[in-house]
Amino acid sequence: MLRYCDESKIITIRKITAFPVAFTMSFQTLAPFCQSIKSIQRSHGRISSSIRHHGTSSKNEVQIVEVGPRDGLQNEPKWVETDVKVEFINRLSKVGLQHIETTSFVSPKWIPQFKDSLEVFQRIEKTDSISYPVLVPNIKGFETAIAQGVKEIAIFGAASETFSQKNINCSIEESLNRFRVVTEAAQKANVKIRGYVSTVVGCPYEGPIKAAAVANVTEELLKLGCYEISLGDTIGVGTIGSMSAMLKEVKNVADPSQLAIHCHNTYGQALPNILTALNHGIRVIDAAVSGLGGCPYAKGASGNVPTEDVIYMLHGLGVHTGINLPELVLVGRFICNYLGRNSESKVTFAMGDLKPMDKNAHTHNHDHSHSHSHSHSH
């Protein structure tokens, strides 16, 4: 039983635990929460319906951008051997993913983990149906990428001025000017450009971020030629409420088909936030196998949302991803075993009995929809 008394501002919850629980909450606090819960309760049918009628790709499809090899490993304190990075990406290429962010062509002085980025990109077994984008911080990184035959790059900005200064040592405006040189060169070379916006709902230095600031950076990146903007909750503080408010504002300057969502799971809100993004028409989700990654500028910020958990949720919605979940779980275990840590994926934990010879088990959550190539362009 849940009882709300307006006069005393007391809510009583019974039979949720072994003991009655009482706590104080104002109606102003409770109302948005209840509205969010009601929204989730209605969301399955609405999301399934909107997915079926969205875009020009498969009627019931969501694309996953696997960022584990890049965003997942970039802050890893342990050096990951080149052979392991190559094997990691090659295994990911065999589970049905069609978009795998592989590395970053950045100075080893800034990210030592990627001092072997050239060798990794050269050695991975590339498949025509899979895109292997790389992150480039400047024109030098782009020139290195183009020399290696890279067909898609990613550039990055922030919605927080302070975060921009701490992360890339320049203001938001300066960062956009720097990337203008990169995007002009990429367009001449017919290289696709994806943009990232960090700290879209919260910043470790400035706190909550105004949605208008996110919309402004998004609009500028689109003007620079980015085909898609990934909106990142870098420190994982977003909620259904803050995420929805931000997306509503951003959709004033961008169509949902130009947007992706990138959630970290610090407060365990990544899946609800992704569900919110789906409800706003977004059909591209960034995720990292086993929840690899984190933010070095925010104490306590955990990794990306685990790809395994996202896939389980999507398959439960009847959404086509083309990804074999049991095989993905095994890839996550491979990299976690090497790193000497447990996976952050609840799905991986639940599939504790899964063995390589059983990779076709757990078929209740295998995507049996037809497989097909998808260009991941809008």
Q: Give the containing element (helix H, strand E) for 100.
A: none
Chain CA centroid to CA 46, Å: 22
| The pair of three-digit structure tokens given for residue 343, joined into one six-digit string | 């996976």
Which residue has tokens 């989730």? 40
Find the helix packing angle between 240-250 and 27-52, rounded to 10°. 60
Pairing outcome for strands 192-198 and 228-233:
parallel
Residues 283-292, buried b or exposed e (16+ Cβ, 10 A)?
Answer: bbbbbbbbbb
Give 135's Cβ-side CA count (13 Å radius): 22
Look-up: residue for tokens 């949902």? 256
Residue type at position 28:
Q
Task: Give which of 112, 102, 111, 212 is closest to 154, Cα–Cα.
Answer: 102
Active site (annotated) includes residue 170: no
Rounded (10°) angle between helices 240-250 and 211-223: 40
CB contact at 8 A, 195 and 221? yes
Q: Which long-range contacts (CB under 8 A, 24 or more apart) does 76-80 make?
A: 76/113, 76/292, 76/339, 78/339, 78/340, 79/112, 79/113, 80/113, 80/338, 80/339
Catalytic residue among 226, 263, 295, 336: 295
Element (H, E) at 87: helix 82-92
Q: Which residue has the tokens 């959709």?
A: 251
Centre a 10 Å sphere on the Cβ of residue 197 and count the other Cβ atoms it contains. 29
Tokens of 180: 């203008």
For 215, residues 6+ apart whose C-beta sits below 8 A from its C-beta are: 249, 250, 252, 253, 254
C-alpha distances (whole Å) from 254 to each of 213, 242, 267, 280, 297 are 14, 18, 28, 12, 28
284 has which bridge partners? 63
- Residues that are catalytic: 295
